[in-house]
Amino acid sequence: MACETLRHNCGVIGIWDNDNAAELVYHGLYSLQHRGQESAGIVTADNGHFYRHYGMGTLTQVFSGPDAIAKLKGRSAIGHNRYSTTGSSSHDNIQPLVAELRDGPVAIAHNGNLVNTRKLRRKLQEDGAIFHSTTDSEIIVHLMARSKHDKVRDKLRDAIKKVEGAYSITVLSNHALYAARDPQGWRPLCIGKHENGSWAVASETCAFDLLGYEYVRDVNPGEMVVIDENGMEIVPFAKPKKTFQCIFEYVYFSRPDSRVAGEYIDKYRRRMGKNLSDEHPAGDADIVISVPDSSNTAALGYASQSGLKFEMGLIRNHYVGRTFIQPTQTMREMGVRLKFNPVGGVLNDRKVVVVEDSIVRGTTLKKLSVLLRQAGAKELHVRVSSPPIRFPCYYGMDFSSHGELIADDKSVEEIRKHIGVDSLGYLSVERLLASVPQGEGIGYCTACFTGDYPTDVSEEIEYESKLRYSTKTGEET
């Protein structure tokens, strides 16, 4: 799915007690750019003052001015890369959000989607709350503002106990850096420490590697982390229960060089490729290629298990960021060719296994199959390292309606015909689950494959059907 419009939700990072807090957060966000490219922002705290710089676009677009980082004073900072899932893509929704509470300012950066926000927002508005954005993250701020407690940690705990769904958040006050992960553990969040005593929290450990912080451990589901002048303290805020980590973090979202529970994502993704090879061998194929970059690791696993040679049959142009693509007619016509170029010498007269991590709409694979055949491929056998996506995600992935999903109303054979390949095989849910970490209390959300939503999503489904109705009738929802 390296190239369709399946996008991540967000990346968050926080640094506590370092001379170069803003600069470190900037570079950390750079490592997390894959999680969101729509907007970026950093907030720092310095002797009672908060400094903020934010804007629409990728990190380098937002922080292009010479003083953008220099003006962010202070030894602590949080940052956010956003891809909008709840709330529209607008300036008002850029995070970190900053709010003045009774006892001073706080900034919040949130990764994930809350699922009971419509009722909560309505209730807060009836009580007089005025919202400045349409993002669900602002609900947490309003709930904190209404808490009777004095300490920020207690206000935060009060607020997050009232929300449901996916959240991995960082919060900055004048006195501490906080991080919290929802009790189901949908989105990742981890803790790092520098040898100079500084602490960090981030969505993925790849940010720590760049900044020279050592990965300490994950923030476990239902835990809040408080980092202040006394050090780091773990404060559980919910009873341990079965987790529902998003299995798509392992399939596609997280970088293969990031670690979860101490192990690299790379290991699990290779395992998916191996299991895929066992489930769907490709007979007398000659080579295995990947749709770069996100499918590279699974393709390596497939190749090693099948004994087929892994080749670079498609070259991706890394300088075609989606924010730079203007939808002109010429560019639309170039389509997928702008992003991928097949290597004729590798593909010519070969029977090719093409490993892809997921298929959402199938539009890119359909175009790629034409390109690969034009480059001389004799046969195309597509192998997908996740099951067919049949159901919308209400926890952060950017497709949220049935109509967008090719597997919603098509069988595997119909999809094969649609994308124009010789064979098509998907990894089963069982073998996908067998590829990821197991243990007591560890569970996964697989709702986009199975339709088994771990929480009540009736509000979202009702909203989606109203939206469908209003699109047909032109009414407002």
Burial class (CB in 10 A: 0-12, 13-18, 19+), 248: buried
Looking at residues 425 to 454 of the shown chain, list those that interact with ligand SF4 (rule: CB under 6 A).
445-448
Given 42, 120, 171, 246, the residue binding ligand SF4 (CB under 6 A): 246
Residue placing its CB nearer to ligand SF4 in the complex, 93 or 446? 446
Q: Which C-beta is closer to ligand SF4: that of 18 or that of 386?
A: 386
CB of residue 249 to ligand SF4, shortest distance in Å: 7
Pairwise CA distance, residues 20 & 13, whole Å: 14
Give dist(CA 271, CA 287) in Å, integer: 19
For ligand SF4, the binding residues in 19-58 under the rule CB under 6 A are: none
Structure tokens at 254: 């997280």
Of 301, 279, 256, 267, the residue nearest 436 (C-alpha): 267
Neighbours of 27 (CB within 10 A): 17
Please tell me the chain's helix, strand, coil percentages from 3-state DSSP, rounded to the nearest 5. 35, 25, 45
Token pair 């994502």: residue: 265
Which listed residue (3, 10, 190, 206) is catalytic? 10
Distance from C-alpha of 65 to C-alpha of 54, rounded to nearest angstrom: 12
> Can residue 250 be called a binding residue for ligand SF4 (CB under 6 A)?
no
Distance separating alpha carbons of residues 96 and 135, to the nearest angstrom:
11
Pairing of strands 379-384, 351-356: parallel
What is d(CA 306, CA 280) in angstroms, rounded to the nearest whole number? 10
- Look at the block and give the residue holding tokens 């010498």: 345
Task: Tell me how many residues contact ligand SF4 (CB under 6 A).
Answer: 11
Q: Which of 167, 208, 248, 264 binds ligand SF4 (CB under 6 A)?
A: 248
Residue 292, token pair as written in the block: 């770069």
Of the pair 26, 394, the CB lying nearest ligand SF4 is at 394
Q: Cβ of residue 405: shortest distance to ligand SF4, in angstroms?
A: 11
Instruction: Considering the complex, state which of residue 36 and residue 313 has its C-beta at the smaller distance from ligand SF4.
Output: 36
Task: Map the footprint of ligand SF4 across residues 169-198, applying CB under 6 A.
Answer: 186
Q: What is the CA radius of gyration of the chain?
A: 23
Which CB sits closer to ligand SF4, 152 or 393? Answer: 393
What residues contact residue 38 under an 8 Å CB cut-off, 6+ apart?
Answer: 56, 57, 82, 83, 84, 89, 323
Write the binding mask 210 to 239 for ligand SF4: x where contact by CB under 6 A, - elsewhere: ------------------------------
Q: Which is nearer to ligand SF4, 251 or 288 (CB)?
A: 251
Segment interacting with ligand SF4, rule: CB under 6 A, options 23-31, 174-182, 244-252, 255-263:
244-252
- Closest separation in Å from C-beta 275 to ligand SF4: 17
Closest separation in Å from C-beta 122 to ligand SF4 = 25
Residues 379-398 that bind ligand SF4 (CB under 6 A): 393, 395, 397
| Other CB atoms within 10 A of residue 207 CB | 30
Decide if 448 is catalytic. Answer: no
- Least Å distance between CB 354 and ligand SF4? 23
Q: Which of 1, 247, 407, 427 binds ligand SF4 (CB under 6 A)?
A: 247
Q: How far is the CB of 340 from ligand SF4 (least distance, A)?
A: 24
- The distance of closest approach from Cβ of residue 443 to ligand SF4 in the complex, given in angstroms and rounded to an integer, is 11
Which residues are paired to 11 by β-bridges? Answer: 81
Q: State which residue, 94 or 445, has the beta carbon closest to ligand SF4.
A: 445
**What whole-number distance in Å separates Cα of residue 385 and Cα of residue 294?**
11
Q: Which residues bind ligand SF4 (CB under 6 A)?
A: 186, 246-248, 393, 395, 397, 445-448
Active site residues: 10
